Amino acid sequence: MPNYTAPLDDMLFLFDKLRDNKNYNELQKYNEVNSDLVKDILGEAAKISENLILPLALSGDEHPAQLENGVVRTPPGYKEAYNKYIEDGWISLSCDPKYGGQGMPKTVSAFFDEMLSSTSLSFKLYSELTIGAYNCLLRHATDEMKDKYLPKMVEGKWSGTMCLTEPVCGTDLGMLKTKAVEQKDGTFKISGQKIFITSGDHDLTENIIHLVIARASDSPAGTKGISLFLVPKYIVKEDGSIGPRNGVSAGSVEHKMGIKGSATCVLNFDEAVGYMIGPKNKGLSQMFTMMNLERIVVGIQGLGISEIAYQNSLSYAKERKQGKTNNSKSTNGADFIIEHADIRKSLLNMKSIIEGERALCFWLSQQTEVSLHHSDEKIKQEASDYVSLMTPVVKSLFTDLAMEITSDAMQIHGGYGFTKDQGIEQLYRDNRITPIYEGTNSVQAADLVFRKLTNKNGDIIGKFLEMIKSECDRKNGKVKTFSKELNYYLDILSKFTDWIKEKHNDDKDDVSAAANDYLKTLGFVSLAYSWIKVLNVSYNEYDSNKKFYDDKINTAKFYFEKVLPRAELHYKSAISGSSNIMNFKFN
């Protein structure tokens, strides 16, 4: 089983030193969320992650969730851990105090999301979808519905799901077949089948609140006819108590490559009682409230798995002897593999990406809070646009790079990495779903280039590039070399953006073929932006903690010299166009 220590120093550094968003700091609701409080919360989060959750990773992999006599059973230890987890109030961390939550901002809860992703993604998914369903209901349900369902969900006694995918439709939700027939009492009878439903059924909670998209009998075809319904596993009585079983059941549990402890279910809805959420035929936009936040969390999953893969690779490299380096001083015939240049390069590649991602995620968390809670609508909208722009980047780049990092971790471990002994191969398998679910990474890239570069509020990518340039112009001479380098790549990204916009009119196949390359170019530049912010602090505060800031500065140097150049390679590849791709004759 891999070892794990929560990277508290880096998390607290970000919270203390990079909480520099003026608009975020104007949110009065978070005035009391200070560094001392966050240090205490994250300290306790680290303990429960390292001691309670981490051992569940192996349990879930060796004893997957199973369907037995109509009941989905979770792996050994899950029930006990879940009970302790909700008893200590961890599900409620970022929820509204009105419904029993603790009201912590995303700038805090995102760190805990990362810890849970590092220690056991399978276990995390049982509560993660609950928070997603909570957010959707909080934004779109009636007060009566919120009062009835949210307190138990926040407490963790009830869980939640997101039911979109069907056998006939994955991303193309306009093809869905699930029907909703309105009844005289205003409820609906929901009939159909949903597949790949994370935490679709299990034995951890008293009730499961399914959010289901379906088409009402009188609704039009396509995405314009989709409505959103709340369908509980058990009917909830007027007094809030559990009533009879609803017409929803698990048909099977998928046998998966990874995250085996998570119950991924086929759900059958047989005239199940459902309650419409919000206006009819507006269900897709409502569900996207849940999906967009979930996509950022999926990116954090990739970050969390990358972190534990890096920690164990570093530890192994310090213990394993193999071969002699060019400057070997060994007298017993072998050096520790951490002395080999290629191993050091792999480790620094992991470290520079992970720390850059964590800083970018912290910036995005601040923007998210501003987009939800700022009193100035213009400021709120601009933050929302930034979040919209960066959501596909965080989801896709973090998870794609996690595949690289977990693969490199296996390579560093050699033959042991390919066996189950060290637990590294499980990290690779568990992460493999992250580039797929919540919209595949190619879908995210298409969303970015076709929808997000411009919107009704104007040129959001232009605003983002200007913001990065402003950061580069900050008056710290020692950062100038890095800023000059980043400006070079900003120019490339600007040219790439112009090329994409031009091709929108000339050849959309060129845009489609370039979408993933554009996303990665934007992503690598965005990570460099995060490093510039870190470097400004590191040089300004250097004398207060020389060892810590030396580490930051040298890690940033590696990123700018060895990782950031990948942005230009993606650009050069993309602008060659798509003619050969589209004209190629496959046999």
Q: Following CA atoms 488, 492, 495, 500 in sequence, which dihedral angle do they give, to the nearest 10 degrees?
A: -160
Q: State the burial class of residue 394 (Cβ atoms within 10 Å of its Cβ: 0-12, 13-18, 19+).
A: buried
Q: Is the dihedral of CA 102, 104, 109, 111 positive or negative?
A: negative
H helices of 49-120, in order, are 54-62, 78-87, 106-119
What's the rounded Cα separation, in Å, for the pair 192 and 267?
9
DSSP character at residue 543:
G
- Integer Cα distance of 22 and 11 in angstroms: 20
Confirm whether 438 is a catalytic residue. yes
Contact status, residue 527 vs residue 401, Cβ threshold 8 Å: no
Q: Calculate the alpha carbon distances from 65 to 58, 127, 227, 421 in Å.
A: 13, 15, 31, 22
- Three-state helix/strand/coil letters over 16-49: HHCCCCHHHHCCHHHCCCCHHHHHHHHHHHHHHH
Q: Catalytic: which of 44, 438, 466, 502?
A: 438
Q: How far apart are CA 162 and CA 172, in angstroms?
A: 16
Tokens of 316: 């192994």
In terms of Cβ atoms closer than 10 Å to its own Cβ (0-12, 13-18, 19+), residue 586 is exposed
Token look-up 């936040």 returns 293
Give catalytic residue positions: 438
